[in-house]
Amino acid sequence: MTLKAVLFDFKGVIINDELLHEQLIEQVLLEENLLLKPGEYHEFCLGKSDRACLKDILIQRGRCVNEGYLEQLIKCKTLAYQKQLESIEELPIYSNTVDFIAQVSRAELKMAVVTGAIRTEVELVLNKANLTNYFQVIVGGDNVKESKPKPDAYLLAVDILNQKCQGINLKPSECLVIEDTFPGIEAAKLAGMSVVGVAHTYPFHILQRLTNWCVDDLSDLELDRVQKVYQEVV
């Protein structure tokens, strides 16, 4: 077997903006006369799409939730995120992740972003950080019905890569996923993919139990060794 593609989560892996997302979710809820309780963001939102996050919190609070209502809230949150990003001179991109992306590119492996974040948010960041050209595919939280920990987003990324990259014949087992949260790790495993846990959000010793490889940051991941492991698997 050969490693053919590396699939990156976005929040907590490429950009360190989880606190901003929490503040914006809190703001959206305040406008609905609701307070974000301590621990709720981590319970309902971390590693998941905005849709899943807001829906679960609102249902927990006894609110009646329909698609139109959710779309309105997500739109408000997305516009606020874009406004915040445009005002930041230097994005909080993980520099070690950027170096690793360049390393993957030199190895001529395909790359995708697979995230619960809205696609337009991802595109804004990648464009501003000059990373767009590295990625053949972006699967955002608005491109699938089911959020992580369901495997839908990762499986969709494989399908699109096969459509875009003629002759690749990519299988989930030939992908390596870079994740930082429990829902993301579970989603990748359910999709049949190996996972690197990067300890940006949770401690190393916790992620180590759940992933195939675990690193404090991606400068510690030796891509050539990972490729050899794939080659040893029949």
Share of the chain above pLDDT 90, in %: 93
State how far the Cα of 67 lies from the Cα of 99, in Å rounded to an integer: 40
Section 190-199 average pLDDT: 98
> Are 109 and 4 within 8 A, CB to CB?
yes
Q: Which amino acid is at 134?
A: Y
- The third-level CATH classification (topology) of the domain covering 5-16+91-232 is Rossmann fold (3.40.50)
- Strand ordering across the sheet containing 137-139: 137-139, 110-114, 5-8, 175-179, 194-198, 213-215
Residue 7, pLDDT above cutoff 60:
yes
Residue 2, pLDDT above cutoff 70:
yes
State how far the Cα of 234 lies from the Cα of 231, in Å rounded to an integer: 7
Closest CA to 165 of 153, 179, 152, 175: 175
Domain ranges for the chain:
5-16+91-232, 18-87
Question: What are 120-159's pLDDT values in tens digits?
Answer: 999 999 999 999 999 999 999 999 999 999 999 999 999 9
Pairing mode of beta strands 213-215, 137-139: unpaired
SS3 content of the chain, % helix, strand, coil (to 5): 50, 10, 35
**Per-residue confidence (pLDDT) for residue 86, from 0 to 100:** 85
Question: What are 208-218's pLDDT values in tens digits?
Answer: 999 999 999 99
**Per-residue confidence (pLDDT) for residue 194, from 0 to 100:** 97
**Per-residue confidence (pLDDT) for residue 5, from 0 to 100:** 98
Section 153-182 average pLDDT: 97
pTM of the model: 0.94
**Per-residue confidence (pLDDT) for residue 234, from 0 to 100:** 55
> Are 194 and 176 within 8 A, CB to CB?
yes
Task: Count Cα neighbours of 29 within 13 Å in the Cβ-side half-sphere.
Answer: 23
